[in-house]
A and B are shown apart, each in its own frame.
Chain A
């Protein structure tokens, strides 16, 4: 029985099955439960996708339904035909994401490398310097005041990019990885040959540590693509040309949903005419799409980041 099992099972799957206490029947039942759970988790996203492909009349009749009366590409076409405003927002989001991710890596990787060198004289001092902001921050008020009145970031694209560039958490992940994945002997050999630290970093360290960079890049991409809070804080309604996609969505909900908002927002400036209901959902799908597309490919990088991050030093 055991031997026959071994032959018919995929080796990896075999060990998992062997390790498990679940009998075949329990396994099937639990699998079905998990499949249902996963479906349940996906339903809200599915609903938005379905609505974006529903016809307008179907939505007026049935509401946001999983089973629309008629399918239609109308709102997708409308979006691509219509306003520079919306396409502009999508382009903004892409540019902000790209700039933030690249700049963030350019800042974080070198300092992480410096901190990974155990004999670096300022190592402890810099570590403490990076840890303090994790414990204590100035709070929203002073951050806001500094960014607007000293750094003058208000109503510029820098307000959406600069504040999120570095994270001590990410620097620590990078540092831990450099420490474990790059053999000290390799760097010492390069130093004996008279290599400059920056060259060593660029030519030796970067090429063998791309997985962790991908991980951090991925987290930054998600963070910047999803960010709307800086836009809420620092952009006013006279600068709609800077709005990222997520913030356009925030505004749209405000301007359409009459029931939920109060008079204060009603008087708020509305610089565009609200498009039809389904078009909103098209934008939502556009905002989810890049994440859905990259996600399966990079899942393993996400996992690297999470496991490195979850393990304390």
Chain B
């Protein structure tokens, strides 16, 4: 019984040798990236414990020892502190408020623009429009902050200049929180709508042209075409973006909420989101446990939301889900 199988094995390995060598070589090629992932993605994963420990580092000792040996377990204390914090409701509200609006407008506006832009006769003109509208996406939030500052600066800003020209009083924009919900939404749309629009436009150009030709022959109007051809065909793309955005409902763009309002204290009630809070708790208050608990919460909720959103999409449309 044993002998033949052994023989077989010998023969197999004889044939398999190049395969094993190939696997070794391919693994060697993956190794540098794997090491990078270990150092920069997996090593920080143990930091989840920060959220459940009362971090009390002793100077001169290694981080791991400080975290696991020197720091006592805190159970869920960090979280209960976090939830009792008077700031948290506002922070959560801000994060969800902006994200929900970005989720809706971030799909609605680009799809509308793409649907209309796809109908333009001149491809060259459409290309130029796409290029200009894509540009803000590739600027950093720092640059965006400066561009906005050009309009909103109290003394030199263009908006106040116009206001004064018409005899109105100048507004101290960076100290008037009332305007900033609208301003931040406009800035976000300005920066990202073009990019999303081009994604949808690419999806529209990939739609089979004969569908449109048939519809045209049948005398379909613009709205009918959009309703019955374009939107159904865009569904997978929209679903993908919807799932990804839902997964990051508690995440926020740090640059938009920290750098664009210039970290102004008076704007904090409307600009402080979870990411800004995590950063400030860590860097300005050195409150590790607090910050870690907030960031754990963000991560866990994000993970769950992603799975839920995916399941919901899967239920309504099998092909459009991500996983």
Contacts and interface: CB of A to CB of B under 8 A. Distances in A.
B284 A141 contact: no
Given A44-B151, A253-B262, A110 B30 contact: yes
Interface in A42-84: 42, 44-45, 47-48, 51, 59-60, 62-66
A279 interface: no
Interface stretch (B5-13, B31-39, B86-94, B100-108): B31-39
A117 B23 CA distance: 10
Interface in B119-136: 119-136
Contact of B262 (A146, A165, A257): A257
Nearest to A222: B138
Contact of B322 (A108, A129, A312): A312
Interface in A277-307: 277, 280-281, 284, 287-288, 291-292, 295-296, 299, 302-303, 306-307
A145 B156 contact: no
Q: Is the interface of B mostly helix, strand, loop or mixed?
A: helix
Contacts of B295: 139-141
A21 interface: yes
B23 A253 contact: no
B244 to A, nearest CB: 10
* Most chain B CB inside 10 Å of its own CB: which residue of A135, A151, A260, A310: A260
A34 B113 CA distance: 9
B62 A113 contact: no
Contacts of A37: 113, 129, 133
A133 interface: yes
B129 A21 contact: no
Contact of A136 (B36, B148, B225, B299): B299
Contact of B142 (A47, A139, A145, A246): A246
Q: Is the interface of A mostly helix, strand, loop or mixed?
A: helix
Interface in A226-246: 226-229, 233, 246
B259 interface: yes
Interface centre among A51, A140, A229, A261 (most CB of B within 10 A): A140
Contacts of A280: 146
B237 interface: yes
Interface residues of B, number: 117
A21 B119 CA distance: 7
A30 B45 contact: no
A272 interface: no
Contacts of B130: 299
Contacts of B120: 16, 20, 22, 27, 30-31, 34
A190 to B, nearest CB: 11
Interface in B36-65: 36-37, 39-48, 50, 62-64
Interface in B179-199: 190, 194-195, 198-199
A227 B141 CA distance: 9
Contacts of B45: 136-138, 142
Contacts of A63: 153, 155-158, 160-161
Contacts of B25: 196-198
Given A44-B148, A63-B161, A139-B298, A310 B142 contact: no
Contacts of A13: 121-124
Given A133-B42, A295-B131, A249 B142 contact: yes
Contact of A42 (B36, B132, B146): B132
B212 A19 contact: yes
B142 A250 contact: yes
A60 to B, nearest CB: 8
A163 interface: yes
Given A141-B288, A310-B202, A150 B138 contact: no
A16 B306 contact: no
A137 B299 CA distance: 7
A96 interface: no
A4 interface: no
A222 B160 CA distance: 33
Contact of B147 (A47, A114, A121, A229): A47
Interface string B234-248: 001100100000000
Among B25, B42, B62, B283: residue with most chain A CB under 10 A? B25
9 contacts: A42-B135, A107-B36, A122-B27, A141-B282, A142-B47, A198-B28, A253-B145, A295-B131, A310-B199
Interface of B: 18-19, 22-23, 25-30, 32-34, 36-37, 39-48, 50, 62-64, 113, 116-117, 119-136, 138-143, 145-151, 153-158, 160-161, 172, 174-175, 190, 194-195, 198-199, 202-203, 206, 209, 212-213, 216, 220-222, 225, 236-237, 240, 254-255, 259, 261-265, 275, 278-279, 282-284, 288, 291-292, 295-296, 298-299, 303, 306, 322
Interface of A: 12-13, 15-17, 19-22, 24, 27, 30-31, 34-35, 37-38, 41-42, 44-45, 47-48, 51, 59-60, 62-66, 106-108, 110-111, 113-115, 117, 119-122, 126, 129-130, 132-133, 135-146, 149-151, 162-163, 165-166, 171, 191, 196-198, 201, 222, 225-229, 233, 246-247, 249-250, 253-254, 257, 259-262, 264-265, 277, 280-281, 284, 287-288, 291-292, 295-296, 299, 302-303, 306-307, 310, 312
Question: Lowest 4 A-B CB distances belong to which pairs?
Answer: A142-B47, A138-B44, A139-B295, A226-B140
